[in-house]
A and B are shown apart, each in its own frame.
Chain A
C-alpha cells in the first residue's frame, strides 16, 4: 500500500472520505478485481483510469452496493459498507454506467422519489439541483423523452440531491457534448475544491482525467497499478520524449547527433528521423543542425506527455482510446 503524503487544499483538511482496502471480486473463476486498496479524500477529484474491462465499474459497483465483496472492506465517511450500510450509503451519491430513471415518470417526480429515500432533502433543494444541471425547462417531461446527455444531467442531479460526502461518477462524460463536458468539469471541480466533496470519476480517456482530476488511480486487469497526482504524472512525462524532425538529409543529421546523443536516434525515413530527447534538449539539437546548414522543415512531439507516462507506468501493455 503506497503511502500518500498528507495534503492541504484550499485550507481544508483532506481527510479520507472513501477508503477501499484489499478488495477483491471474482465472477466465476475470473478475478475481476484483485486486492485493490486506495483512498479518496474529501476535497479532491480522484480519477479512476483504466482500459475497458479493467475492473473500474466492478469496483464502483462494489462501493455502491450492487455487488458483494469477496474480500476486503469499504468505508464511506467512516461508516463501514456492511456494518452501517444505510449510514454509509447516505453519504454516497453517484451514477453507475448510464443513469437510468423510471421512463414513464417525469424527471422531477423521479428526483422527488429519490429524495424521499433520503433525510432532509427539501423541495428547494430539488429546484436548486435542477438549476445546477440546467434542466429547468425539461424537468416536467417524461424521462423517456430525454436525450442521453439530458439523462446524464438528471442523473447528476439525482446524485447531488442529498449533498453526498462522496460522489462517484462512472464514465460521466458519455453522451455529453463538449460544452456539457466543460460544464461538468467545472461542477465537479467546484464541488471538490469549494464544497469539500470527495469526487471519484472513472474513465478510459486520459485527456479527460488530465483536465479535471487531482489524483489518478490506474487500474489494469483488476489490479491497481499506481496512484499518482497529476503533477507526478506530468513530471514523469518530463523525461525523454520522441520528436520527429523533418529534414532533407536525415543521414547527415544522424551523423552529427551521434556523438552528443548516442543511441537516441530511433527511426529514419527519406525525409525525417525520430530522436528521443528531453524537452530541454530540443533547442540545442535544432541549433546544432541548422548551424551545420541542414534544412529543418519541422519538429514535432510524437506522443502526448501523459500517454507516455501512462504507458511507462503500465508497462506499455495498454491501448488508450
Chain B
C-alpha cells in the first residue's frame, strides 16, 4: 500500500481548471481501476474522472462547487498492488520517467528558470556615443584604436573604416596606381589618407559655417628670441613660438577651443588645449596632436612638436598621436610667393590658425616705413560659436602675444 495523490489533469487541450460537480466516492471507500471518482465540469464539457488506481480513498481534496486548478490534488488513494509500484515512476519531479500530462496545461508553466546558462553577454561599454559600423568596431579592436579618440568623417560623424585606417597608419596607404586612361580621362582610385582628408574636408565645409580673418604681425620680438636661443646653442623654428602664443590667446578666449555639439545644440568648451599640427607628408596632409600643450613650457613644446612632425613624416606615429585635437595650426605659404590663405577647420574643432612665412616686410614704425620681419596670420572660425567681433579680439590678442614675445 502506498498513498498516491491524483492531480487534476488537463482534460481537454489547454484547459487550466475544472469545477468539481460531485464526488462519486467517499473517503474510506474501496475503488477499482477506472471506477468513477468524480464529475467535473471544464470549460468544454462535464466529464467523469475514472480512478487511475485500485485502493482505498484516503482523502478528497475538494468540495463540490469548488474550482480545482489543473495540477492540483484531487484525491489521495492508498493504492494496491502493481499501481503502487508503477506510479512513483510517473512522478512529475522525475524527468527521466514517462510523464503524465498532469499539470501540462498552459496554467502550469515549466519551472521558471533557464534550461541552461547562456554565454554571458559582453559587458556593455560606457555610453561613448561613438557611431561606427560593426566591422569598423571590430577593425578598431584589432588595431588597438580607441574609437572615442577618432573623429568620424562619415555621415553624422560616423567613424568609417578609412578613419580607423588613417588613425592606425600615419603613413597611410599609398594611392592606388592610376587606372589606365580609356577616353581622355584618368581616374585615380582614392584610398587611405587622401580619402580620409576628402571626407574630413567635406564634412567641415558642409557642416561648419566658417569665416576667415587675416592679420599681419611684427615678428621682430619672435626673431630676437630665436636669435637668443640660437646663441644658447638651441636652434628653434618659429612654430613653438606660434603655439605658445596661441595657447596664451586661447586661455583668454576659451571659446576658440571648443566644438559645436550638433545633437544637443550645445557648445562644448574643452579644458585641455590639444594643438593639432598640420604636416605635409609624402602621403598627404597629417595632423598629429600635441596633447595638453597648455601644460608645457616652450622648450618642451619645441621638443614634442618636432617629434610629432618627424614621426608624421616618417610614418612612425601611433594612432593616438593623431586624434583628440581641439585647435589646429597650419603653415600657409612656407615657401614661394604665397603669403596667406583661408585654412579650413578640422572638424569638430572651432578654430584653425594659419601662419605664413616670416620675411622682411615694409612696416610703418613711428611714421616711417621700415623693413621688419613679419608674417600673415589667418584664422578660420565656426560662426555658430564665434561672431566676427570675438574673432577679431582673439586675433588681436594672438598678434599681441606674438609681438610681445620676450627674448
Partners in one complex: no
